[in-house]
Amino acid sequence: MSNVIASSSTNVRRYANHVDGAPLDASGSEPIARHDPASGRLVAQYADAGPDVVDAAVLAARRAFDDGPWPLLSGAERARLLRRFATVVDGERERLAALDSQEVGKPLRLARGDLEGVVAQIEFAASLAHTDHGSSWTQLDTGFVAYATHEPLGVAALIVPWNFPALILSQKLPYALAAGCTVVVKPSELTSSSALEIADLALAAGIPPGVVNVVTGYGPTTGQALIEHPGVDVVSFTGSTATGREVAAAAGRGLKRVGLELGGKAANVVFADADLDAAADAAVFAAFFNQGECCVSGSRLLIDVRIAEDFVATVVARAATLVTGAPDDEATDVGALIHERHLDKVLDHVAGATEAGAHLLIGGARLTGGGLADGAFMAPTIFGGVDAGSRLFREEVFGPVLAVATFDGADDAIRLTNATDYGLSNAVWTSDVGTALAVSEGMRSGTVWINTNIDGSPALAFGGMKASGIGREVGFEGLREFSSSKTVQLRRGDRALPFPRAATEEGR
Ligand code: NAD
């Protein structure tokens, strides 16, 4: 049953929560209004779920877990339903991409890529549901065998940010389902439409009611109530490091398993012997893809001091060719930022970088010309000569701002890469395999890209070190975040017990 309550002639989508396979409105609270950040137009309204709605959603997920059938289905059966889910989502890719593009402000052309990723994640998780198995030990002792199974953890709370609403959901949801968990999703209050639509598609694919529930609302109220609910067993959170600390504390109080995918400040290290043409393209892509609102944005370019001047000139020239504009224009490379306050925050970083003595090479300002006046558009921005101790070098900006610094030798490149609290991803470009391996070993991050950037596959685990988080998602490790192992031990024949049998019998 669709969560859309009404879509008026002005095309404003009005959604209820999705609980137990049906829409559930939030009583007594003002709906949350979402304005398209590129035009300022009202495009969607979501319910602001209070504790009663969160409770109803968790109880629905609890029933679907405790009474089944979801966790009791065979792996093959769960895989079959997940494959059907992937097919149904595949059929709706264009519509879902349009929703995410409109609510995030990202180019539709690139949102289509997100949705291809969503389908690939669900398909991969289906293969895990089918092939997952435990382990056995048969060599421990005569007459003694043991085996370990992986059991679903229970009800999973999935809390998702706004930058890749459908894609990040797909890095959690199908893995939780493949493991046999039931879920309550809390999407960002800025971009909730695609999660609600995807919950409808799960139902249409035959995944039973109550297995996938969605509550919409603000983080400190709806999100916090969800994490603190005693019916939730595991929390999987993606968002900022500041919020991640609060989520971890709340999950800790309830002794719940918690996975945290947090911020990043990736370095893109380019040595003089690299394929410089490819490296320059990738530097521009990694910095400005998704308006730089990307946890793995290559927001620091560390360039070999021997080639710095020419290479930086090439990167600046290529950045100058990027088209910033309306998300639904097929020519657009860079869309709008998520909202005005975020644009102000990014501009504050720009002002701070200038004060700290960095050199502005391109951009640095809001864009209002050419029909962009009503949106939160920002020019792709590059600073040279960025000091390694400065805010711009160390802090996540989450906008289209690239910080450039030089290094002299591999040790210096590693030192600069690690000079931030974050440790999510980094990249290195070189034609020397020894340099590539040495630098990747030294980089303190969950992912290292060699001669590529912002790349991947659903098979490859993703997550951070240091302030970038705890745990891994996607791939086989992503499945394990939602399961608990059980060791079963069996002995036959005589057992050598430390209490002598005679003494025990005499004592009777
Ligand atoms: P955010 O932390 O503000 O919000 C993320 C989600 O948490 C939202 O759904 C929000 O409503 C909810 N939330 C906020 N406060 C909460 C609370 N106290 N309790 C429970 N839930 C709460 O982050 P954002 O602004 O939506 O996203 C941007 C951040 O996400 C950036 O820092 C970015 O690096 C990070 N991010 C990380 C990854 C990754 O995989 N590591 C991926 C994408 C984004």
Q: What is the mean pLDDT of residues 198-208?
A: 98
Q: Which of 32, 240, 420 to probe ligand 1 with, by most ligand atoms within 8 A of CB? A: 240
Pair 404, 387: CB distance under 8 Å: no
- pLDDT tens for residues 384-438? 999 999 999 999 999 999 999 999 999 999 999 999 999 999 999 999 999 999 9
Residue 461's CB is within 10 A of a number of other CB atoms, namely 17
Quote the pLDDT of residue 3: 66
Whether omega before 69 lies within 30 degrees of 0, making that bond cis, reads yes
**Assigned fold of 267-450:** Aldehyde Dehydrogenase; Chain A, domain 2 (3.40.309)
Q: What is the mean pLDDT of residues 60-64?
A: 98
For residue 338, which atom of ligand 1 is closest to its CA? 25
- pLDDT tens for residues 84-124? 999 999 999 999 999 999 999 999 999 999 999 999 999 99
Quote the pLDDT of residue 27: 74
Quote the pLDDT of residue 9: 46
In sequence order, the 6+-apart residues with CB closer than 8 A to the CB of 32 are 45, 46, 47, 48, 189, 192, 216, 217, 218
Quote the pLDDT of residue 504: 56
Residue 494 has pLDDT above 50, yes or no: yes
| pTM reported for the whole predicted model | 0.96
Quote the pLDDT of residue 340: 96
Pair 282, 452: CB distance under 8 Å: yes
> What is the residue with the minimal CA distance to atom 15 of ligand 1?
219
Quote the pLDDT of residue 500: 72
Output the six-digit token pair for 321.
Answer: 């060719």
Q: Which of 487, 474, 413 is nearest to 176 (CA)?
A: 474
Share of the chain above pLDDT 90, in %: 93
Ligand 1 lined by 261 (C-beta under 6 Å): yes
Ligand 1 lined by 224 (C-beta under 6 Å): yes
Pair 220, 250: CB distance under 8 Å: no
Ligand 1 lined by 295 (C-beta under 6 Å): yes
Burial 291-329 (b: 16+ CB within 10 A, else e): bbbbbbbbbbbbbbeebbeebbebbbebbeebebbbbbe
Pair 189, 267: CB distance under 8 Å: no
- pLDDT tens for residues 303-313? 999 999 999 99
CATH of domain 50-262+468-488: 3.40.605.10
Q: For the chain, what are the domain ranges? A: 50-262+468-488, 267-450
Q: What is the mean pLDDT of residues 20-46?
A: 94
Q: Which of 496, 484, 502 is nearest to 233 (CA)?
A: 484
Residue type, 260: L
Ligand 1 lined by 159 (C-beta under 6 Å): yes
Residue 7 has pLDDT above 90, yes or no: no
- pLDDT tens for residues 358-385? 999 999 999 999 889 999 999 999 999 9
Distance in Å, CA 417 to ligand 1 centroid: 24
Pair 85, 118: CB distance under 8 Å: no
Distance in Å, CA 245 to ligand 1 centroid: 11
Which DSSP symbol is given to 334?
B
Which of 177-181, 262-266, 383-387, 495-499 shows the lowest per-residue confidence on average (mean pLDDT)?
495-499
Is 267-450 the same fold as 50-262+468-488? Answer: no
Q: Which of 163, 216, 291, 396 to probe ligand 1 with, by most ligand atoms within 8 A of CB? A: 163
Q: Which of 238, 296, 401, 426 to probe ligand 1 with, by most ligand atoms within 8 A of CB? A: 238
Q: Which of 355, 349, 356 is nearest to 390 (CA)?
A: 356
Ligand 1 lined by 162 (C-beta under 6 Å): yes
Radius of gyration of the chain (CA): 25
> What is the residue with the minimal CA distance to atom 10 of ligand 1?
219
Q: Residue with structure tokens 């558009």?
A: 377
Pair 163, 152: CB distance under 8 Å: no
Ligand 1 lined by 446 (C-beta under 6 Å): no
Across the chain, mean pLDDT equals: 96
Residue 32 has pLDDT above 70, yes or no: yes
Sheet arrangement for strand 144-152: 135-141, 144-152, 483-491
- Counting Cα atoms < 13 Å in the Cβ hemisphere of 452 gives 6
Residue 81 has pLDDT above 60, yes or no: yes
Question: What stretch of H or E contains 101?
Answer: helix 93-104
Quote the pLDDT of residue 503: 56
Would you place residue 498 in the very low, low, confident or very high pLDDT band (cuts 50, 70, 90)? confident
**H-helix segments, 289-329:** 308-319
Which DSSP symbol is given to 70?
G
Q: Residue with structure tokens 């969800």?
A: 226
Q: What is the mean pLDDT of residues 12-35?
A: 93
Interatomic CA distance for residues 505 and 257, integer angstroms: 45
Distance in Å, CA 347 to ligand 1 centroid: 20
Q: Which of 355, 347, 447 is nearest to 398 (CA)?
A: 347
Quote the pLDDT of residue 495: 81
Q: Which of 30, 29, 42, 31 is nearest to 3 (CA)?
A: 31
For residue 189, which atom of ligand 1 is closest to its CA? 11
For residue 162, which atom of ligand 1 is closest to its CA? 26
Distance in Å, CA 332 to ligand 1 centroid: 26
Tell me the catalytic residues. Answer: 261, 295
Q: Residue with structure tokens 């009777």?
A: 508
Burial 56-93 (b: 16+ CB within 10 A, else e): bbbbbbbbbbeeeebbebebeebbbbbbbbbebbbebb
Ligand 1 lined by 123 (C-beta under 6 Å): no
> What is the residue with the minimal CA distance to atom 40 of ligand 1?
261
Distance in Å, CA 109 to ligand 1 centroid: 24
In sequence order, the 6+-apart residues with CB closer than 8 A to the CB of 294 are 163, 164, 398, 454
Q: Find residue 334's DSSP bridge partners.
A: 324
Distance in Å, CA 187 to ligand 1 centroid: 9
